[in-house]
């Protein structure tokens, strides 16, 4: 591979000798983990190496400005929401399957949401349809999409761009799972006014490394948002890794091998080569245990599917091992298919999960990862969904195995 020219890493490497640390961090070890010093620039008002790195990243991503983040896509999402709010946006159209950084960010900033109801197919959260987007945007000042989502599906991006242009409203994309797509035609930055790239998830950056970008006049608003939410003690190893990852070349061999693997394993059809999703149904936990016994760790087990997250750094021999082992594993059936929506009424009370079948969910809850709801607010709790939650290693939205439900159902008769 051609040597990448990474400004931050080069700056860090050139300063190691004779460096006595009378500055933070407290470990006092010379090396890459320094703070903002005379030679290392300053992320709040960059004018040296960090400014150059951000400029080059923006050029690669097709942005007017890009900002390095060391606090995950979450920080980028919050910075974008802040920029929208400052520009007068009051209500944002979004999918019920938006990440919690989006919904909680809206809550923190007092932004209202126009939520597109959750629809799943074969247990997989669906992206909103064109019609749903159009209807939701009529009642909102901005549109926020997740592209691609954790399951490797895209919203109707061309349609969304045209819709926002016609309405004169901004389009925002949460690209927490799409940083590896900046070479391709369905990259968030080709459509959005403001977008975040979760560089650490699908490119070779350290965990928490991300970039948030904007085009046109949104760049200045975004700068304000980034300043409001970003840490004042950014990690240089993370920043260096983000620059490296964004400059990392495409790996067509892995992309091709991933598509072949998906066909050979009968994986779910999706549009993002990096997300290999295999249905194991009720045998998910058994399959995960068996794979892990052989050193293969999937990204998540949602009780129906195991998901294997690839990147340009995935080794072809590891894909071969994955194929060999997965081929030997028994597959199960989808365990949890249907959802019914109903209007809850009365108090919101906690019930042990095991006693909540048939009740109406009063607070979204699910597994973590993928941090997507098994039950959304207003959905009836099914036995199958409860079993998935009871078996899950990590959950969110529950309190010690208890779920928040409505005490009554509204009687509309």
Question: Which residues are near ligand PLP by CB under 6 A?
Answer: 72-74, 77, 99, 101, 146, 150, 174, 176, 198, 210, 371
> Considering the complex, what minimum distance in angstroms separates the CB of residue 236 from ligand PLP?
18
C-alpha dihedral, 346 to 348 to 352 to 358, nearest 10°:
40
Give residue for tokens 């999918």: 95
Neighbouring residues of 354: CB distance < 8 A, sequence distance ≥ 6: 386, 390
177 Rama class: left (phi>0) / alpha (psi -120 to 50) / beta: alpha
312 vs 370 by CB, closer to ligand PLP: 370
User: Which residues fall within 8 angstroms of residue 16, CB to CB, at 6 or more apart?
Assistant: 30, 31
Q: How far is CA 88 from the centre of its chain?
A: 26
In sequence order, which residues have a C-beta less than 8 Å from that of residue 183 and are 6 or more positions away?
250
Comparison of 60 and 371: residue with beta carbon closer to ligand PLP: 371
In whole angstroms, what is the distance from residue 335 CA to residue 113 CA? 31
Q: How far is the CB of 303 from ligand PLP (least distance, A)?
A: 17
How many CB atoms are located within 10 Å of the residue 238 CB? 24
HSE of 133, CA atoms in CB hemisphere, 13 A: 24
Q: Least Å distance between CB 164 and ligand PLP? A: 20
Cβ-contact 62, 175 below 8 angstroms: no
Tell me if residue 99 falls in helix, strand or coil: coil
- As measured in angstroms, the least distance from the Cβ of 248 to ligand PLP is 18
Shortest distance (Å) from residue 75 CB to ligand PLP? 7
Question: Which residue of this chain has its Cβ atom nearest to ligand PLP in the complex?
Answer: 72
Closer residue to ligand PLP, CB minimum distance, 177 or 388: 177
Q: At its nearest, how many Å lie between ligand PLP and the CB of residue 174?
A: 5
In the bound state with ligand PLP, the residue whose beta carbon lies nearer, of 101 and 113, is 101
C-beta of 41 vs 174, nearer to ligand PLP: 174
Question: In the bound complex, what is the minimum distance in angstroms from residue 73's beta carbon to ligand PLP?
Answer: 3
Residue 146 or residue 377: which is nearer to ligand PLP going by CB?
146
Nearer to ligand PLP, 246 or 257 (CB): 246
Q: How far is the CB of 155 from ligand PLP (least distance, A)?
A: 12
Contacts of 294 (CB under 8 A, 6+ apart): 321, 325
Classify burial at 330, counting beta carbons within 10 Å of its beta carbon; exposed 0-12, middle 13-18, buried 19 or more.
Answer: exposed
Closer to ligand PLP by CB, 273 or 406: give it.
273
CB atoms within 10 A of CB 53: 26
């Amino acid at each position: 591979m051609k040597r990448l020219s990474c400004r931050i890493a080069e700056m860090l490497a050139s300063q190691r000798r004779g460096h006595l640390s009378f500055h933070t961090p407290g470990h006092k070890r010379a090396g890459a983990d320094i703070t903002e010093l005379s030679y290392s620039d300053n992320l709040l008002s960059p004018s040296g190496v960090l400014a150059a790195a951000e400029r080059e990243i923006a050029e690669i991503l097709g942005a007017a400005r890009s900002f390095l983040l060391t606090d995950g896509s979450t920080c980028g999402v919050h910075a974008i929401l802040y920029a929208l709010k400052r520009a007068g946006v009051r209500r944002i159209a979004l999918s019920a399957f938006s990440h919690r950084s989006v919904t909680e960010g809206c809550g923190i900033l007092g932004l209202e949401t126009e939520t597109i109801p959750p629809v799943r197919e074969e247990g997989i959260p669906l992206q909103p349809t064109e019609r749903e987007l159009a209807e939701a945007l009529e009642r909102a000042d901005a549109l926020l999409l997740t592209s691609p989502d954790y399951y490797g599906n895209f919203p109707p991006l061309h349609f969304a761009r045209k819709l926002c242009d016609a309405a004169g409203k901004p389009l925002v994309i949460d690209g927490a799972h799409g940083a590896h797509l900046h070479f391709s035609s369905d990259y968030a930055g080709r459509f959005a006014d403001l977008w975040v790239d979760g560089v650490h998830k699908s490119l070779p950056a350290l965990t928490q490394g991300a970039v948030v970008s904007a085009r046109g006049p949104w760049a200045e608003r975004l700068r304000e948002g980034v300043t409001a939410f970003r840490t004042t003690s950014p990690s240089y190893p993370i920043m260096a890794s983000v620059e490296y990852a964004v400059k990392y070349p495409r790996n067509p061999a892995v992309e091709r091998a991933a598509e072949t693997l998906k066909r050979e394993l009968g994986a779910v059809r999706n549009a993002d080569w990096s997300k290999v999703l295999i249905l194991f149904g009720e045998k998910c936990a058994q399959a995960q245990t068996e794979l892990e016994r052989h050193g293969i760790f999937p990204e998540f087990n949602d009780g129906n599917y195991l998901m294997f997250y690839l990147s340009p750094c995935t080794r072809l021999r590891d894909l071969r091992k994955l194929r060999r082992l997965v081929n030997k594993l028994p597959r199960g059936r989808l365990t949890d298919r249907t959802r019914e929506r109903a209007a809850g009424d009365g108090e919101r009370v906690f019930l042990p999960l095991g006693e909540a079948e048939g009740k109406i969910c009063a607070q979204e809850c699910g597994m973590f990862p993928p941090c997507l709801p098994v039950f959304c607010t207003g959905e009836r709790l099914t036995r199958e969904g409860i079993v998935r939650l009871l078996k899950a290693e990590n959950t969110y939205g529950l309190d010690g195995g208890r779920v928040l439900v409505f005490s009554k159902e509204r009687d509309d008769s």
